[in-house]
Amino acid sequence: MKKIKFSNVLIFILLLALSVVFLIPIVTVIVNSFKDKFSISQTPFVLPNRETFVGIENYISGINDTGFLSALFWSLFITVCSVAVIVLFTSMTAWYITRIKTRFNSLLYYLFVFSMIVPFQMVMFTMSKMANVLRLDNPVGLIFIYLGFGAGLSVFIFSGFVKSIPISLEEAAIIDGCNRLQTFWHVVFPILKPTAITVAILNTMWVWNDYLLPYLVIGSDYKTIPIAVQYLKGGYGSVDMGAMMAMLVLSILPVVIFYLACQKYIIKGVAAGAVKG
């Protein structure tokens, strides 16, 4: 039986402590979602008892007060479509600018990288004005705006992975009669699957939780979940904390489920599928 290194034990304890630190806020929100709003303010870290437990009352009131089902639909629609468009177009763009070596493609790549460091606050007013002028101030238009803001990081990630794919695989597909588009769909994109899912997860968490961009572009006409949750604030800063906690639990559930379903693809060997059978 091998001796366990002290450094490994120390790393395990450190990671366990970090996990507890990250989980405490989530557990606190879940616990408080079943308590009345007065006990949430007075004893937020105490488990509910017979006097403070309200069952699913907070969830019912939160759904009714915020129009949660409508907000859930628009959040799902915008997130799913935005992420699908980002993954599709940025993977094709990264493959093209990586394989076709020209000065223009090099400049295009650096422009994508540069867009990652531009603060959103610098362009948000100009962007909202242009969205209004170009009739993009609607859920469909918002999808293309997300494509523009998400392209930088996504192209950067895909480009780094495409460089590791042997070009001989694509040459073999072209010899077998595939055109460029068929080569991408049948050879390149299946190898990109782990990276595509990683990009999808990163963009899903960003788009799903984003408040400022939907608020600036579509306002309250098509409320997403982050915007809908803000409507729980009453006059003079009063907040229904019970309903707020319940809505926060419902808002994080889809992202958690999506991440748990896709995490196995992230840790797979990135080139394992290229050499099978």
pLDDT tens digits, the chain, 277 residues: what are they?
455 677 788 888 999 999 899 889 889 889 888 988 788 888 888 888 888 888 888 898 888 888 888 999 999 999 999 999 999 999 999 999 999 889 999 999 999 989 888 888 888 888 888 888 888 889 999 999 999 999 999 999 898 888 888 888 888 888 888 888 888 888 888 888 888 888 898 899 899 999 889 988 887 778 899 888 887 776 556 777 888 888 889 888 888 888 888 777 665 534 333 344 3
Q: Residues with Cβ < 8 Å from 60, sequence gap 6 or more?
A: none
| CB atoms near residue 261 (< 10 Å) | 11
Identify the pLDDT of residue 274.
37
How many structural domains compose the chain? 1
Q: Is 267 contained in some domain?
A: no
Torsion angle of C-alpha atoms 232, 235, 241, 247, degrees rounded to 10: 0
Cα–Cα distance, 180 to 169 (Å, whole number)? 12
Identify the pLDDT of residue 63.
87
Identify the pLDDT of residue 89.
95
Identify the pLDDT of residue 155.
92
Identify the pLDDT of residue 270.
40
Q: Is 88 contained in some domain?
A: yes
Domain carrying residue 160: 67-231
Identify the pLDDT of residue 269.
39
Q: At 178, which CATH number?
A: 1.10.3720.10
Q: Is 55 contained in some domain?
A: no
Q: Which helix (H) or strand (E) holds 218?
A: none
Identify the pLDDT of residue 267.
58
Q: Is 238 contained in some domain?
A: no
CA angle 170, 202, 62 (to 5 degrees): 145
Q: Is 142 contained in some domain?
A: yes
Q: Is 26 contained in some domain?
A: no
Q: Is 189 contained in some domain?
A: yes
Which amino acid type is present at position 242?
G
Q: Which of 7, 162, 26 is nearest to 91 (CA)?
A: 162
Q: Is 58 contained in some domain?
A: no
Identify the pLDDT of residue 95.
93
